[in-house]
Structure 1
């Protein structure tokens, strides 16, 4: 039986409006020897029918209908369980790809003998324009000795830098390297991609990044949301406890610095949320009284203070670890004011209404 070059796994849920746009770019790939796995995650709209219709049109397509909605991570796992390609790839069904994407990535993988190949991304902004995002301006290949540092840079990049390729959808992975590795549920952790990415990088021998922006990351009707859910912050704590398992004691501080950064982010989200001051203070108090969170944050103090940091960062740290919910509130308000000025937004309220997040 012929082994496809790549198995492309596409979880599908509530994306009827965007589904055909995505699948058209997959079936028309210039790399023809591909396996297309559509996982209908019990979608309530017309997606199940669309999956079956496409399956009838193209023999490379396999469809799996799940009886219950389990979320993106577990839908990807369903695809991994049946994938037969030399490499595997993931696409979100509300996004789409360049028709040459998988030929370019596959050829680069064979040329460099890479276990993983990443590419740049075209990211849609709120005006509907696409902006090219690349982590490296030139093609870059990493060997085994460099991959632990690269994996740490996902969640704790050097000062003044930021890596975007935390997500799994603009890359291909050698299926042999993936092995039994599977995704966590996003209902358990925030960012189901990150534990997978960290684990796969530590298993890989050679990884290549090309700057070509070949994946189109799109905003949709549910992407632009100001709904606040502070429980996500606690799911980041779960995420951090999972990630630390992959590293030695000497590297754990990186993991908890990552959680500290996301704690700051979610506290700023709380400040923007449409809720009363009393309710915001209640959430901040709940955060500051979480003993396990505070314990792990305290363990990062020495490492955190080694880097040149804003005074606000130290205020955040002090307020979080000393159960000072009101000080934490004031610190986040000041932080938001600074961000507003940097963004060129004249009033604080306008800034709040300006900022939107993908779910």
Structure 2
């Protein structure tokens, strides 16, 4: 009789100056109903009290918490550092100011095993600092637990590519890492991992609790937004060599959703006029190079619903003015 070794999950938690949130995050991980886990907590050069909190948890839960400390290198670098040291069969990522339900990794590992999936997805809810739910983000509505990608490849263009609400088979990272020194590293990498999958599994439970912080420095929107377009380019290069290379309609929809809509959602908050116009021009080039027409954008449906029509009025007006070439009017209104 062969004794099956239970599969292990490695959870990678990059930490940078989160002393007020870290305990809640780590509590949610050491209390997972899944016993066979390791939590790699990577202090990415914090200069607050985060290191002391990490050490407390490492002493209290030595069999689960694996502490590491490194020079500051950014989110991608810290995640990659964790990937190099993870010993699990599956990998999860949790941001250190967020937290998760205690059954998250048990349920997601069960789904991975049940459906032989290399990627499992759960829903996200945004919470405020008192734990009140402010928004529920359903990831894949109206689809079965096990999704065959060949037959449902619209998922490729419609999915939100967060790293943190997913469980990944470790082998997906054999040749791949998060790109360092860029913003939007998830949009750059996670679609590439999806292209390696034949199927994905999902749960409709809202396991991942994404904290909307009131104290975080308001992110200034700059030309860093151009990293979205670069991320899409990197995915395109991998797509062309992938098992799904012939699915050109879905690639175009990905270009529209991430390259046009996500980019414009970022561009709306760019303060500098010069940067705004420069980025707007680069988007127009991006569209021209890919033969993306205004009618393609207006027709784009996400999860079988027209995307533009599903948006709040203010966003609708912004997008429509942009597509009508009214950039100066947009700047005036803003």
The answer on whether the counterparts of 1:148 and 1:202 sit within 8 Å (CA) in structure 2 is no
Does 1:245 find its partner at 2:250? no
Match among 316, 319, 322 for residue 322 of structure 2: 316
SS in structure 1 opposite 2:195?
A: helix
* Aligned position for 2:304: none
Give deviations 1:137-181, integer Å, cap 9, x for gaps. 564322241465322223xxxxxxxxxx42111121111233232
Structure 1-normalised TM-score?
A: 0.75
| Displacement after TM superposition at 1:12 (Å) | 0.8
* Equivalent position of 2:150 in the other structure: 145
Quick one: which of 305, 313, 316 aligns to 2:295? 305
Offset from partner CA, 1:231-250 (integer Å, 9 cap, x none): 22222222222222122384
What displacement does 1:218 show?
A: 0.7
Q: Distance in 1 between matches of 2:28 and 2:317?
A: 48
1:108-141 superposed Cα distances (whole Å, 9 cap, x missing partner)? 2212221111111121258862143223256432
Conserved 8 A contact 1:137-1:211: no
Task: Note the alpha carbon deviations across 1:32-68, whole angstroms, 9 max, x for none.
Answer: 11111111101111112222222122222211110x2
Counterpart of 2:99?
A: 96
After TM superposition, give the deviation of residue 283 of structure 1 in Å.
Answer: 2.7
Give the equivalent residue in structure 2 for 1:106.
109
CA distance in 1, matches of 2:149, 2:294: 27
Indicate how the Cα distance of structure 1 residues 126 and 21 shifts in structure 2: closer, same or farther if over 3 A, else same.
closer
2:221 to 229, 249, 256: 229
Question: How far apart are the structure 2 equivalents of 1:138 and 1:302?
Answer: 28
Q: Helix, strand or coil for the counterpart of 2:209?
A: strand
Give distance in 2, aligned partners of 1:215 and 1:65.
25
Residues 297-348 of structure 1, C-alpha deviation per residue, up to 9 Å, x if partnerless?
A: 22345544244477975652463xxxxxxx40314656x6xxxxxxxxxxxx
- 1:160 aligns with none
Question: After alignment, is 80-89 or 300-309 more displaced?
Answer: 300-309
Aligned position for 2:174: 179
Q: Partner residue of 1:10? A: 13
**Shift in alpha-carbon separation, 1:178–1:148, aligned structure 2, 3 A:** farther
Pair 1:263–1:180, CA change in 2 (3 A): closer
Q: TM-score, normalised by structure 2?
A: 0.80
Q: Which has the higher helix share?
A: 1
CA distance in 2, matches of 1:122, 1:318: 34
Contact (CA 8 Å) 2:43, 2:69: kept in 1 or not? yes
Is 1:208 the counterpart of 2:201? The answer is yes
- Aligned-pair distance for 1:74? 1.2
2:124 aligned with 1:121, yes or no?
A: yes
User: In structure 1, what is the Cα distance between the partners aligned to 2:224 and 2:45?
Assistant: 24
Q: Is residue 282 from structure 1 mapped to residue 274 from structure 2 by the alignment?
A: yes
Aligned residues: 303
Instruction: Answer with 132-141 or 68-77: which moved more.
Output: 132-141
Q: Secondary structure at the match of 1:204?
A: coil
In structure 2, C-alpha distance between the alignment counterparts of 1:139 and 1:98, rounded to whole Å: 22
1:3 shift after superposition:
7.0
1:134 aligns with 2:138: yes
CA offsets per residue over residues 67-124 of structure 1, 9 Å max, x none?
Answer: x211111111111111111111111110111111111111122122211111111212
SS at match of 1:40: strand
Range moving further from structure 2, 104-113 or 84-93: 104-113
Please state how far the C-alpha of 1:221 moved relative to its aligned partner: 3.9
Q: What are structure 1's unaligned runs of at least 5 residues?
A: 155-164, 274-279, 320-326, 337-359
CA distance in 2: counterparts of 1:25 and 1:288, whole angstroms:
42
CA RMSD of superposed structures (Å)? 2.7
